[in-house]
C-alpha cells in the first residue's frame, strides 16, 4: 500500500514503531504534491522547511526512547492559507497579502507544530474564506480530484482537494458558514467544525469573527479525533476562546449507538434537495437504523432564515475586519497615489477581489446609521432564535443528521455569475454556524455529476455544544460499518 494512502492512525503507529521515518513520509507527500500541481491545491511549498521539521521529528522519535514524542510527531499536515505561519507565506488567497510573511504562527498551527507535526505547505482557498467553490481565489481555481470539471467546494477547497487526493493525510481548514463541511462533501472526505470558541482564532486571518471556526479535513472521524487532541484547547490570546480543560476526543469513538436518538430535520428534505443527494442521505440514515439508532423527526423552523441572516452578519463583521488592510501597515500598497486617503483607496481597490469588495459594501451598508436596526440588529435577533431552536432540538435527540449540500459538486462557472445562487450552497450548513454548534460532513455515497458521472455526497452530523467527542463517535460507527470514506478518486 502506498504510504500516502495511510490514515493518520496508521502513520502514527508506523512512526512509533520506527517502520517509517518522518523524513520518508515528508518526501513521499512532497513528491505527490509536485506530481499533482495541476490541482492547484497548494499556494506555498518549501521542501527545505518541511524536511527540516521532519528531521527534527525523527530526532524526537529516536531520543529518550520516543518518550518526548506525541502520537502525531512526524505526521504531515498542510494548513489552509487563512492561518498565519512564520515559515510560509500567509495570503488568505488575496492579492492584497501576496508574499506576506507573518512574524508568528497561529495558535492552531503552533499547537500542531509543538506536537511534532510536519508542515507540508499552505493551501489555496477562496479569498478571505469568502466563497463556496474556490473560484474566488486570487491565485486560481482548485480542481476537484474526483472530476476536474467540478468545483472542489469552498472556501477550504485546497484543504479538501489535498486530502481527497492524498497529498496530505490531514489538513486544517476554517468554517464560517460551511467552508469545511461543503468542500468535504464535494470531495468525499471527513470535514469537521468544532464548537465555536473551542479552537483558537489567534492568527486566523479574520473574516467574520463571531462565526470563524478552525477545524479539520481528514479521511476519517478517527483521524480527526487524534488531531483534535493536539489542536484544540484554551488560548488566553483569543478573547472568545472558551476556558475548558483539554479533552480526549477519541474517548467516545467506540460509542454504542444502540438507542442513540438521531434528530432528522424533516424540512431539510424539501424540494431544494436534489434526488441523488437525498437518496444517499436517506440510505445513510437507514444504515444508522440498522446499527440500532432511533430516528426522530425534529424541526428547526427558522433554519431557512439562515442564509439571509448570515449574509447580514458575516459581511458586517467582514467590513470591519478588512479595514485593517489599508496599504499602511502590511500588504499591497498602490505604486502611484496622491494623498493618504487616495493611497488607501487605490491600495484596497487594487488588492481586493470582487467578493471581498461586495461584502465590504454590503457590510458597511447594514451597519450604517438608519439601517443598523433594520438589518444588523434584526439579523442578530433571528440568529438567537435559530440558536434556541437547536437547543430545543437537542432536548429530543443526541445528534442531528441530514444533508450537507443540495447537490453534488457543481461545474466551474455554474454559479459564479450569480452570487445569491452561490450563497445558497450553504443552505444546510449556515444554521449550525449561526448557532455555533459542532458539525461535520462524512462521505455517504455518490450522486450523478453532469460531467464524468460520479461525484461524492456528504452526510451532515450536528451535535450539541462541546459534544464533539460524541459526534465523532457517531461518525466512526458509520465508518466502521461502511467504506465510503475509503474510496479514492481514480488516479490518486
Catalytic residues: 80, 155, 179
Instruction: Say whether 109 sits in a helix, a strand or coil.
Output: helix
Closer CB to ligand GLN, 12 or 174, in the complex: 174
Nearer residue to ligand GLN within complex by CB, 182 or 326: 182
Q: Which of 121, 177, 183, 356 binds ligand GLN (CB under 6 A)?
A: 177
Q: Output the smallest distance, CB 183 to ligand GLN, in A.
A: 9
Judged by beta carbon, residue 24 or residue 414, the one nearer ligand GLN is 414
Angstrom distance (rounded) from CA 276 to CA 90: 38
Q: What's the closest the beta carbon of residue 470 comes to ligand GLN, in angstroms?
A: 23
Instruction: Tell me whether the omega of the peptide bond preceding residue 155 falls within 30 degrees of 0, making it cis.
Output: yes
Measure the N-to-C terminal CA separation of the chain; round to a whole number of Å.
12
Please give the Cα distance from 105 to 85 (Å, whole number).
4
Question: Nearest Cα to 237, choosing from 194, 200, 206?
Answer: 200
**Helix (H) or strand (E) segment spanning residue 79:** strand 76-80
Q: Is the dihedral of CA 469, 474, 186, 426 positive or negative?
A: negative
- Cβ at position 150, least distance to ligand GLN in Å: 17
Q: Which of 44, 105, 426, 467 binds ligand GLN (CB under 6 A)?
A: 426
Shortest gap between Cβ of 364 and ligand GLN (angstroms)? 17
Which parts of 310-329 interact with ligand GLN (CB under 6 A)? 314
Q: Which is nearer to ligand GLN, 7 or 159 (CB)?
A: 159
Nearer to ligand GLN, 15 or 309 (CB): 309
CB nearer to ligand GLN: pick between 176 and 250 = 176
Of 179 and 405, CB closest to ligand GLN: 179
Best CA proximity match to 437, nearest among 377, 402, 394: 394
Measured between alpha carbons, how far is residue 287 from residues 196, 220, 260, 474 in Å?
29, 17, 13, 12
Binding span for ligand GLN by CB under 6 A among 174-182, 215-223, 275-283, 373-381: 174-182
The three cell numbers locating residue 28: 513521499
What SS3 state is found at 480? helix
Query: Which of 176, 220, 229, 460 touches ligand GLN (CB under 6 A)?
Result: 176
- Residue 248 CB, shortest distance to ligand GLN, in Å, is 28
Of 486, 482, 471, 9, nearest to 257 (Cα)?
471
Closest CB to ligand GLN among 58 and 317? 317
What is the C-alpha separation between 35 and 32, in angstroms, rounded?
A: 5
The whole-angstrom separation of Cα 182 and Cα 439 is 11
User: CB of 22: closest distance to ligand GLN in angstroms?
Assistant: 31
| Closest approach of ligand GLN to the CB of residue 134, in Å | 10
Contact characters 349-388, ligand GLN, x per CB under 6 A = ----------------------------------------
CB of 426 to ligand GLN, least distance (A): 5
Residue 179-198 contact track with ligand GLN, rule CB under 6 A, x = bound: x-------------------
User: Do 152 and 173 touch, CB atoms closer than 8 A?
Assistant: no
Stretch that binds ligand GLN, among 169-177, 223-231, 444-452, 461-469 (CB under 6 A): 169-177
Q: 487, exposed or middle or buried, with CB in 10 Å at 0-12, 13-18, 19+? A: middle
- 114-135: b (≥16 Cβ within 10 Å) or e: ebbbbbbbbbbbbbbbbbbbbb
Residues in the interface with ligand GLN (CB under 6 A) total: 13
C-alpha 347: how far from its chain's center? Answer: 29
Strand runs (DSSP E) across 387-438, as ranges? 399-403
Residue 67 CB-density burial (10 A; 0-12 exposed, 13-18 middle, 19+ buried): exposed
Q: State the DSSP string of 192-205.
A: EE--TTSS--TTBP
What is the dihedral angle through the alpha carbons of 270, 275, 276, 277, rounded to the nearest 10 degrees? Answer: 0
CB of 298 to ligand GLN, least distance (A): 24
**Which positions from 121 through 160 interact with ligand GLN, judged by CB under 6 A?**
129-132, 155
Phi and psi, residue 325, nearest 5°: -90, 95
Based on the shown chain and the rule CB under 6 A, indicate whether residue 276 belongs to the binding site for ligand GLN: no
How many Cβ atoms are within 10 Å of 278's Cβ, its own excluded? 17
The answer to the question of residue 21 lying near ligand GLN (CB under 6 A) is no
Cβ-contact 177, 422 below 8 angstroms: no
Q: Measured from the CB atom, is 130 or 205 closer to ligand GLN? A: 130
The residues binding ligand GLN (CB under 6 A) are 129-132, 155, 174-179, 314, 426
Amino acid at each position: 500500500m502506498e504510504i500516502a494512502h495511510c490514515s493518520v492512525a496508521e502513520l502514527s503507529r508506523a512512526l512509533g514503531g520506527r517502520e517509517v521515518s518522518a523524513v520518508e513520509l515528508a518526501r513521499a507527500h512532497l513528491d505527490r504534491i509536485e506530481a499533482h500541481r495541476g490541482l492547484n491545491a497548494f499556494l506555498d511549498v518549501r521542501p527545505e522547511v518541511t524536511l527540516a521539521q521532519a528531521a527534527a521529528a525523527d530526532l524526537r522519535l529516536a531520543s529518550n526512547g520516543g518518550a518526548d514524542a506525541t502520537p502525531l510527531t512526524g505526521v504531515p499536515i498542510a494548513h489552509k492559507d487563512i492561518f498565519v505561519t512564520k515559515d510560509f507565506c500567509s495570503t488568505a488567497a488575496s492579492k492584497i497579502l501576496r508574499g506576506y510573511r507573518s512574524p508568528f504562527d497561529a495558535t492552531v498551527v503552533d499547537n500542531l507544530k509543538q506536537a511534532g507535526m510536519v508542515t507540508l505547505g499552505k493551501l489555496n482557498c477562496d479569498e478571505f474564506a469568502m466563497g463556496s467553490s474556490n473560484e474566488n481565489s486570487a491565485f486560481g481555481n482548485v480542481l476537484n480530484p474526483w472530476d476536474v470539471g467540478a468545483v472542489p467546494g469552498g472556501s477550504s477547497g485546497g484543504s479538501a482537494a489535498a486530502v481527497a487526493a492524498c497529498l496530505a493525510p490531514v489538513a486544517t481548514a476554517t468554517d464560517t458558514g460551511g467552508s469545511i463541511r461543503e468542500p468535504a462533501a464535494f470531495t468525499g472526505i471527513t470535514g469537521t467544525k468544532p464548537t465555536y470558541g473551542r479552537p483558537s482564532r489567534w492568527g486566523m486571518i479574520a473574516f467574520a469573527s463571531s462565526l470563524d471556526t478552525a477545524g479539520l479535513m481528514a479521511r476519517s472521524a478517527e483521524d480527526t479525533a487524534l488531531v483534535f487532541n493536539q489542536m484544540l484547547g484554551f488560548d488566553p490570546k483569543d478573547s472568545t476562546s472558551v476556558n475548558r480543560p483539554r479533552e480526549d476526543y477519541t474517548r467516545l469513538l467506540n460509542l454504542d449507538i444502540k438507542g442513540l436518538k438521531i434528530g432528522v430535520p424533516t424540512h431539510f428534505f424539501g424540494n431544494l434537495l436534489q434526488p441523488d443527494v437525498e437518496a444517499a442521505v436517506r440510505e445513510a440514515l437507514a444504515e444508522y437504523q440498522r446499527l440500532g439508532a432511533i430516528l426522530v423527526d425534529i424541526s428547526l423552523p427558522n433554519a431557512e432564515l439562515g442564509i439571509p441572516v448570515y449574509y447580514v452578519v458575516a459581511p458586517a463583521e467582514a467590513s470591519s475586519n478588512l479595514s485593517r488592510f489599508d496599504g499602511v501597515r502590511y500588504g499591497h500598497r498602490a505604486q502611484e497615489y496622491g494623498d493618504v486617503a487616495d493611497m488607501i483607496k487605490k491600495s484596497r481597490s487594487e488588492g481586493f477581489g470582487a467578493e471581498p469588495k461586495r461584502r465590504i459594501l454590503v457590510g458597511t451598508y447594514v451597519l450604517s446609521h438608519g439601517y443598523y436596526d433594520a438589518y444588523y440588529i434584526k439579523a442578530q435577533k433571528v440568529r438567537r432564535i435559530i440558536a434556541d431552536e437547536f437547543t430545543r432540538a437537542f432536548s429530543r435527540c443526541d445528534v442531528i443528521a441530514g444533508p450537507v449540500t443540495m447537490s453534488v459538486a457543481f461545474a466551474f462557472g455554474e454559479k459564479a455569475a450569480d452570487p445569491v445562487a452561490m450563497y445558497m450552497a450553504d443552505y444546510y450548513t449556515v444554521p449550525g454556524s449561526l448557532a455555533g454548534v459542532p458539525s461535520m460532513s462524512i462521505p455517504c455515497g455518490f450522486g450523478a455529476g453532469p460531467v464524468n458521472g460520479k461525484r461524492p455526497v456528504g452526510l451532515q452530523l450536528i451535535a450539541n455544544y462541546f459534544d464533539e467527542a460524541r459526534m465523532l463517535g457517531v461518525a466512526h460507527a458509520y465508518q466502521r460499518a461502511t467504506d465510503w470514506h475509503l474510496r479514492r478518486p481514480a488516479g490518486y
